[in-house]
Structures are given as structure tokens and as C-alpha cells.
A and B are shown apart, each in its own frame.
Chain A
Amino acid sequence: MYLSSLSLRHFRNYIEQHVDFSAPKVILVGQNAQGKSNLLEGIELLSTLRSHRTSRDQDLIRDAEPIGQISAILERQSGSVDLKLTLRSNGRRTVAVNSEAVRRQLDFLGNLNAVQFSTLDLDIVRGGPAERRQWLDAVLIQLEPLAAYVLQQYQHVLKQRNALLKQHRVHGTPLDPQQLDLWNQQLATAGVRVIERRRRLLERLAPLAAHWHSRISGHHEQLQLVYQPNVEPEPQSPEAAQSHFLAQLQDKSTAEQYQGQTLVGPHRDEISMTLNQTPARQYGSQGQQRTLILALKLAELTLIDEVVGDPPLLLLDDVLAELDLNRQNQLLDAIQERFQTFITTTHLGAFDANWLHAAQILTVESGRLVWPKA
């Protein structure tokens, strides 16, 4: 897919900006805090309806404005799609596809697929299990729109169940065994769905990531991604998986009541990442960790391409200049002309000449795009 134009209205520090994209590689150059990342964030929002920088719509709207808007024309293999997201400083956001309002946000997701790569992504390796789950779930939602619902459902049951356990622990409310039993069942049903989807996804993602890591590291390193679920999946039958889940809850019931929170379930999953059998988190060097993230992102890119059947966009936020020339070239080699790529940077100096070749270069200055003189 290919983004042919983007309009930002009262979005972050943009007042009114329209831009037509004319090349598969778009480079946004500018000083810090001019609005380069904001533009990529706009594309990210159209893709996932989420921003990795904030969860409040108010932050996304230009100061003192009631409404912010992001719209884009996307060329897909199946035809051209018109996407529009309207944000309100006090109110719900609305979305429209081809100028028609879409009631449910689920129907909006999946139109624009994008892989985001920013400096924050290093947390996938360096951070805790929550960061890795968040990464995996974001990929999942892009590939299976229904996963957004499944994950949300699980979180909701989890919250209710935690509230029940907490009432018991904090206020000494007697725990109604019958009610707890029902929340257990609901948790197990929703939890098994999450586990199964995560397992399936990692099974496909792991070999791709290993392939890319090996290639970028010059075949010196072997990357292994292993799903370490809190409750083991039983792919043969969901019933078996559920009873297994319930048995685990039973085992931990005393501890749960003591701590007042749910201790069993996919909210405690981990995804282990090892390089040559050594945990990448503790032992990987900066360079190795960067290579690993790059491999993950390329795996995402190729998997989405394969599953959706249309190459996703690649958003590189301030990361390209941090890669050495060898990794830059590996990345360039991988994306070629197939994946439309948006790159932000403060200076063009660190780029290999091949990147600049045939790229559309735009300068960003305090919320405005400046076209180079022809």
C-alpha cells in the first residue's frame, strides 16, 4: 500500500498542512521539536487508532482548539481509500472511510497497515515483559482485527476479577465462592483466546525474526524468540486449555486472596529473546539490541505483507541515523521499493547515499513542511 497524501489540521503543532507523497522513500528533515515525529504519529494513528506517545486525545489536538483532524488518501491494491480521523478535546473521536462515518472503530482498523520503529522500541528488549506483550499485541491487532476485541475483553474480565479480590482483601468482604467461580470461568475463556492467538502469531514471527537477525549480523548470531505463557496453551482443544487454566487458578487461589489480585493468566506472559542462547536483555550490547529490534521490525513487515497481501508502510522515527552503514544497507536491501518508508532525521549526513537517491526530502519547521526549491 502507498500513502499518496496526508492532511493534518490542528493536530499537535500543525495548524493546516497538506502534503502529497511522490516517492516510496520520504525523508523528513528538521531540528528537534519541529513536528517530524508528529507527522509519523498521525500516520500511526490512522493505522492503529493508538499513539505510542500518549493515550489522551487532548494531547494530540493543537492547544485551545476543539477539534483536530488527520486525513489521508491511501492507495491499496484493491483501490484507493480515503481515511479520516477526527479528534475532539472534549468528546469522542470519530472515524470515516471514504467520507462515510464508521460507527465502530474496529471497522477502521486494518485499512492502513504500518510498522513503526522508533528509539522507544529498544524497550522491547531492555524493558520488562509488559513491553514485550504490548509489542506482540500491537502486531496481533494489525493482523487480526478481532484480536483487539479479544484482548479488551480479557482486560475487562481481569479488572472485574481483581476488583472482587481486592474488595475481599481491603474491605474484608467475604468472597462469594459462586461469583468467584464465574469470574474464573470468564477469565479462562477469554484468557485461552489471548494465549492461543499470541502463540499462533509468535510461531510465525519467530522464524522470520531469526532469519533477518542472522542476515543483518552477518550470520554470526542466532536469535530465538520463545513464547513463555503463564498458562501453557493446549492447541488441541480449547476445553482442555480452559480446564488447565482453571486448575492453575485453583492452585494459586490462596496467594491470590492474600495479594488481592489475579496471579494467573496471559497478563503475566513473557516472550523470551535470546542471542546464541544468551538472554538479549542482560547480555546484548547496544549494537546487538539494535540489530534485534531491526530484525523484529523486518519480521513484522514481512509477515504483515504476507498475511494482508499488501506491503505495509514503514515508519522510521529517528532511528536510521543511529544504525551503522552496514545495518542501514541491510535495511535498504530488505525494503527496496516494495515498502513505502517514512524517515525522520535531524541531519542527512549520516545516511548512505543510496538512501537519499530517489527519496522525497521535506524540511519540517515549527509545524510546517517546506519543499526544497526545485
Chain B
Amino acid sequence: MSTVYTRPLGRLVEQLQRLPGVGPKTAQRLALHILKRPESEVQALAQALIEAKQQVGLCSVCFHLSAEPICDICRAPNRDNSVICVVADSRDVIALEKTREYRGKYHVLGGLISPMDGVGPDQLHVQPLIKRVSQPQVTEVILAISPSVEGETTTLYVGQLLKPFTRVTRIAFGLPMGGDLEYADEVTLARALEGRRELE
């Protein structure tokens, strides 16, 4: 395959192809596009890649992606210190932030418990979480972890550890908004039925 491209182009296509969601065709399209752009633009892209990699690390408090030792969310004075939302990944923080409904703090575990992948509680940022939650100002921990097999185990595990310190809640699972009951899939519907609540 690589003989089709002249060598530096082949290397670029190969590198692009390693990105998630990028197949051979997309990689080729992106590579050819990059070659067509002015050199300054390509420089900027290359620099952005390097800088992002070199400068972005993890927040020392919540383990969200951050260029500073402590991230913007943890430093924000107007955010609620008493609530911590626990998520698996930085992606989840971004998704929740987009709602603009949550004003508390976060804690990123950095994965889910999965013995198959060799991930146990020790590989996750669980100990720092316990330390944070043991502080008196924390009144609630919200577990916002997806309801997969691994997510469920992680939720239960973390929940058990935190319960002695504070109130622990988990987000609800069920029907998407604006969706008709009849269009919901069976698994979601069964799950929603399981998590039914008393009418208030």
C-alpha cells in the first residue's frame, strides 16, 4: 500500500490512520488536504500538536485535562465546593460542562474497573477522591458513570467507599427527552422500568 505514495506522504497517511475514527480513505484525504495548505498553516498545526501534548497534563486535584497544575474548574471561585461529580473520563466532564447546568466540581477517575484490561481500583484515581470527599465542606457526591458492566461495578465500588463520608447519589438512566416511548429500545426501556420512581 505504502508504495502508492511517495515516502513522506506515505508516512503522513500512516500516522493519520492511527487516529481513532480515521480509515485509509479519510487519512489520504486529510494528508492531501494538508499538502495543499500554505506552509504557515501546516506549521501552526504541527506546533499545536506538539504544544498540546507537551503542555496539557492532569489537574492535580480532579485529574481533568489541564495546562495548569490546577484546572480552571477547580480554581473557579464561583463554583460550588460542596458537590463533586465523579466521571470516568475527561470527555465526560466536557459533555457535562456543555449542559451549563452543573455548578459543582468534578473528579475524573481515568477509566473503569476492568480485570480483563488489568484495570483495578489502584489504577484509578480513587484514593485522591476519598481524600477530597473526607473534607467537611463536601455534602454530596454524584456518580455519573455509564451503565455498562464495568461502569456499574465502578459505581458500586466507589459508592461503597464514599458512603461513610457523605451523601452519594447516581445519575438516572432512562428515556431520552423528546423521545416517544414506542421508539425507545427494549434495553433502555427495561432499564427505565427498573429505575422507576414514586410519583411525587
Contact = CB atoms under 8 A, between A and B. Distances in A.
Contacts of A178: 157, 160
A107 B187 CA distance: 11
Interface stretch (A113-121, A182-190, A279-287, A315-323): A182-190
A163 B187 CA distance: 26
B26 interface: no
- Chain A interface bracket (under 10, 10 to 19, 20 to 34, 35 or more): 20 to 34
Task: Please classify the interface of chain A as helix (H, G, I), strand (E, B), loop, or mixed, using the class held by over half of its residues.
Answer: helix
How many B residues touch the partner, as a band?
Answer: 10 to 19
Interface stretch (A145-153, A229-237, A266-274, A328-336): A145-153
A179 interface: yes
A251 interface: no
Contact of A149 (B121, B152, B186): B186
Given A156-B149, A179-B121, A182-B157, A146 B186 contact: yes
Contacts, number: 45
Nearest to B155: A182
Nearest to B189: A146
Contacts of A149: 186-187
Interface in B105-157: 113-116, 118, 120-121, 149-150, 152-153, 156-157
A146 B187 contact: yes
Interface in B60-118: 113-116, 118
A183 B121 contact: no
A104 B152 CA distance: 22
A164 B121 CA distance: 12
A175 to B, nearest CB: 10
Contact of B185 (A107, A156, A185): A107
Contacts of A185: 156
A348 interface: no
B147 to A, nearest CB: 11
Interface of B: 113-116, 118, 120-121, 149-150, 152-153, 156-157, 160, 185-187, 190
Given A106-B187, A185-B156, 13 more contacts: A106-B185, A107-B185, A146-B190, A149-B186, A160-B114, A160-B116, A164-B115, A179-B113, A179-B120, A179-B121, A179-B153, A182-B153, A182-B157
